Amino acid sequence: MARRRLDLPEERTRRRRRSVTVAEIVEFLEYLAPPSLASPSTPYGLQVGTALAPVKSVVLSPLPSYHAISCAAAYKAALLVTAAPLLMAPAESLRWDDPIGAKAAHLTQRQISLYALANSNASAPGGFDDSLADRLGLGTTGVLIPTVAEGQLKLVVFVPPQDLARVRKAAAEAGAGVIGAYTHCSFRTLGKGTFLPGAEANPAIGKAGRLEEVEEARLEMLVPDRDLSGVLTAVLEAHPYEEVAYDIYPLRNPGIVYGRGRISELPLQVSLDTVLAQVNDALGLGPDNQARCSHRPGTPIGSLAVASGTSAKESLLWAAHRLEAGAIVMGGVTLTDQMLADSTTTVLIDVGFAPSVAPGLQRLVTQVRDTFDADGIQVVYVP
């Protein structure tokens, strides 16, 4: 008699893992930094591949370089996520004898999807600018250039009083009820609710075909735009009713303010040489790619600004100068910044694009890995 093969525990776990698509990874990335909050808007999104493709590996890298593409090719069903886009404008043609077209061809031939992050990843809380400030050991920081504020909504849901605490807790844990440094903020009023269950209804209270009048609480909580879907899901799961009555109101109250750059006071005034040494050490910059500065100040530096990448519409260097920063660490220098450099007392320290976004990408690696670890997704960072 043939023996039945016994599955090992890890094999059973592996078979239970669901298939994750490019669309699901993208949805998570855009939840962390909604592209609608990017300012100014730059090319982003899925530039090569299809949203329905299965993903087994996510490779994050500053640029869509040949090195990054080669590394992604070493993994199965890879999605390459970069901080800069491959395609800066709509392509009229993709030629193999053109550097951009050649990279697109390499990605296509190896069935690697390419997703370019929106520049909202620079300004979003916990994004590239915050990560760069954290890597340099800066404390509580302010924003150099406020850009846009996240939209706020008010969720109103009607709940039996005995179930109010459970529903409120579920909504708060999903992101509702945050006002500044306070969480679980809500307001409730008591009243009477009426409903008439239809013949096919399965009411939690009352009977089908009989008009009911019950005590209910009106629960109100603020919800950020990006958290609405998750909050609604949590509320509907926690609510006892078969059909939940709720309202969503758009508000003019500004939510989280997204802004470019960060600025922080240093504990002590230090020389530029000390700042440069700390920047090179924190970002792992060696003799061949050390940070470069625009000029040497005559006074010690008491505050430091940082910004991943380069200036866009408004000069980050000039914004740092207006806030009297002693120096600003940036991921590149524009012609405008070069022309302004000798007119400011703020030293421009250029570390290069890739080192400036590396701390943020490495944080993203941890966030994606923690979220999709149970699905067996391999996540790696390629400098």
pLDDT tens per residue, range 193-239: 888 888 788 887 888 888 988 999 999 999 999 899 999 999 999 99
Q: Rounded mean pLDDT of 273-285?
A: 96
Q: Which CATH number fits domain 151-250: 3.90.79.10, 3.30.70.120, 3.40.50.1820, 3.30.1360.120?
A: 3.30.70.120
Please report, to the nearest 10 degrees, the dihedral formed by the alpha carbons of residues 290, 296, 297, 298 taken in order: 130
pLDDT of 8 strictly over 70: no
| DSSP β-ladder status, 292-293 and 347-350 | antiparallel
Per-residue confidence band for 367, with pLDDT thresholds at 50, 70 and 90: very high
Q: Would you state the structure tokens that stand for residue 366, as one six-digit string?
A: 């941890």
Helix spans in 163-263 (H): 164-173, 228-238
| DSSP β-ladder status, 113-116 and 78-82 | parallel
pLDDT in tens, 304-313: 999 999 998 8
CATH assignment, 9-37+43-117+359-381: 3.40.1390.30
Rounded Cα distance between 132 and 359, Å, is: 6
User: What strands, in cross-sheet order, belong to the sheet with 113-116?
Assistant: 45-48, 113-116, 78-82, 57-61, 378-381
Start and end residues for every CATH 3.40.1390.30 domain found in the chain: 9-37+43-117+359-381, 123-147+259-351
Which helix (H) or strand (E) element contains residue 147? Answer: strand 142-149
Contact 48, 114 (CB under 8 A): yes
Rounded Cα distance between 301 and 266, Å, is: 8
Per-residue confidence band for 2, with pLDDT thresholds at 50, 70 and 90: very low
Q: pTM of this prediction? A: 0.83
Rounded to the nearest integer, the mean pLDDT of the chain is 91
Does residue 141 or residue 367 have the better pLDDT? Answer: 367
Q: Which CATH number fits domain 123-147+259-351: 3.40.1390.30, 3.40.50.1370, 1.10.3720.10, 3.20.20.70?
A: 3.40.1390.30
Start and end residues for every CATH 3.30.70.120 domain found in the chain: 151-250
> Which residues sit opposite 349 in a β-bridge?
293, 329
